[in-house]
Every structure is written in C-alpha cells, then in structure tokens.
Amino acid sequence: MTRLKNDTLIRALLRQPTEYTPVWLMRQAGRYLPEYNQTRSRAGSFLGLCKNPGYATEVTLQPLARFELDAAILFSDILTIPDAMGLGLYFAEGEGPKFERPLREEWEIRDLAAPDPGVELRYVIDAVGEIRRALAGSVPLIGFAGSPYTLACYMVEGGASDDFRTIKTMLYARPDLLHHILEVNARAVTLCLNAQIEAGAQAVMIFDTWGGSLSHAAYREFSLAYLQRIIAGLKREHAGARVPAIVFTKGCGNWLEDIAAIGCDGVGLDWSVDIGEARARIGNRVALQGNLDPAVLFSPVEVVERETEKILASFGYGGGHVFNLGHGISQFTPPENVKILVDCVHRASPRYHGNNANTRAS
C-alpha cells in the first residue's frame, strides 16, 4: 500500500505533534453536494449507493475534490449490519430508515447472529478496498460502524424514535434480552471494523448516536460497556501502522472521563460540550474531535470564521485536536461555507502548533 502523503489526522489522533489541526466532517459526502445527488440519482436509491462499491467510492471522493479535507470517510450506513442480520432495511421517502422485521419476539432475539463481513457485508469491505486504492495515499481513510446500543435502538424500534419507548421498556423489563442483542451487535461491529481495517481503513470510528438518551447508570451498562468490549477487540495495528479508534456519543458531556478510559484514541464531542473544558477534564489521555455546531454553516462568512476560530482557541495549544462538526452536516448547507470552514481551520490553526505550542500557559 502507498505511504500516506498527509498523515496529519493519524498523528493528531495519536497525540503526536502536527503542523496544523486536521479537519474532516461527519457526513461530508452527502446531499448538500449537487454531485452527490447526481450520483445517487444514477444509483437509484440510497441503498443502491451503499451496496455498489463503485458508487460508494465515487461519492466518498467527491468532497475531497472540492475541499482540502485531511481524511476521507467510507460512504456507507451504520444500519448495513442489522440489514445483514436479516431485518430488512429500507428507506421510506421523507421518513428515514426503517426495518421490515424489527426485533419484538424473544425467539427472534435469541436467533440473532453476527453476520460474516466477508460474505453478507462483502460490498462494504470491497468499497473500503476500492476507496483506499483510489485515494492513492493522499489522505487516510476512516472506516466506521454504529455502536451496539444505537443499532439496537433501530432494530427494536423498527426505525427512528422520538421517545425510544419500545427499547427502554425492554431495557428495564427484560434487560436479559437487550443484553443479548448488544452482545451480538458488539461481536458484529468488531468483526466489521476489523474487516474494514484489513481492507485498508487507517482509522475507525464508532457512532453512538443514541447513547445520550440513556440514564446515567443505563449508559454505563448498556452502551459504554459494549463500546469498551469493541475497543478491546479491535486490531490496533495493521501493515506496520497504528490504527486509531474514535468513539462518538452524542450527548456525551456527563461521561467524558468514562469514555476516555475505555482505551480509544479519540473522543468525539457534540456541540453542547466546551472543547476547552473537555480537554481540562480528561487531559492528554485521548485526542478530542469536534465540535462546531453544524448550524453555524448557515451563517455569513465572517460568522463561520469567527465560530471556527473560537473552537481552535478553546482547545488551545498543542496536538491532539481533530476539527469536526458536533454532528453530521445538514443537507441544506451551502457548499461554499464548507470551504470557508476548512480553509479557516488550515489558515488559523498553525499558530497553536509547532514552536507556538511551547509557549502554552500551564
């Protein structure tokens, strides 16, 4: 494999010195880009994009052609894993993802099995290999998966939910059933991420979108414990290079120290957390990723630049920061504002690195 020309993201995640703060965006390949919509139209559907490695490669590379991003992220979906378990993923127009066969009966839950990524998720692994080859060592490729609890939310509810009534009823009334789902999901996610690493992913990220909806005790038992299990089972080195792992729980402010202690290299922050305070709380144990409010990108140029610089200043001097949004980019975002953001990070961040880092106040 070609040696990385730009390894700034990897070094930042490993808390090594960098010349500037690397930047990539959650959902950077998506509906805000007209070229993405054209490719999606050719593919026929969102799942048509995900399940065709050629199309997945095409849309993964599109934002890199427009913006000087420091990483590519595999174009796929967290729900490909439960789809491969036979739950029947489909996307209803204007309604988001749904499952034809949500987990409601005990026998269905007991029969659940982790899919073989080399068979049922072959298209995901093939896409990783194809994207890695197409990148030709320009920037690192990030692989990803959903967290066991977030996947379980969709698998039990049958789709998105406002109150998570069905899964929370299971959590409190039949925790044994939910733990069984989570154990299978943790095994499936570990297998899938390791297969992505073997196929060429140079960093991996776990999206725990709904962990923040849990109570304090329930988060530790039903989300964090399984995140820790995955981290413990990941390949942390491949082809002689370290493979960093990032964990992102939306609404994670209460549990920053706990997440930092599970063995991951980076912790993703949503926009409700002050990144400077987060750094003060967890020190240099992990890198921090984030955490601009995606709504800022609807603002005038000077506001985008001002808010971007605030995040950089709040994190302060030294390495260990990957600039990102606090959640996925909105489909209504003007692409020109994304360029403003990316260029601002590259222009404004060097002052916090190199020799300047030595002047950081203790």
Catalytic residue positions, numbered? 27, 31, 40, 77, 154
Tokens 């796929």 found at: 76
* Coil vs helix vs strand at 91: strand
Sign, CA torsion 292/295/298/303:
negative
Give yes or no for a contact between 321 and 357, defined as CB atoms under 8 angstroms apart.
no
Tokens 């491969």 found at: 84
Here the tokens at position 208 are 């725990």
**Phi/psi of residue 137, each to 5°?**
80, 10
Give whole-number Cα distances, 290 to 38, 156, 201, 236, 279, in Å: 29, 30, 21, 22, 12
Give the burial string for 183-207 (b: 16+ CB within 10 Å, else e): ebbbbbbbbbbbbbbbbbbbbbbbb
| Cα–Cα distance for residue pair 265/13, rounded to 1 Å | 6
Give whole-number Cα distances, 348 to 78, 308, 345, in Å: 33, 9, 5
Helices assigned H by DSSP within the chain? 8-13, 34-43, 46-50, 53-66, 80-82, 106-110, 122-135, 148-157, 165-173, 175-199, 216-219, 225-233, 256-260, 275-282, 301-315, 335-348
Q: Residue 200's closest CA among 57, 81, 11, 55?
A: 57
Q: Residue 361's closest CA among 324, 329, 313?
A: 313
**Phi/psi of residue 178, each to 5°?**
-65, -40
Give whole-number Cα distances, 346 to 289, 313, 349, in Å: 15, 14, 6
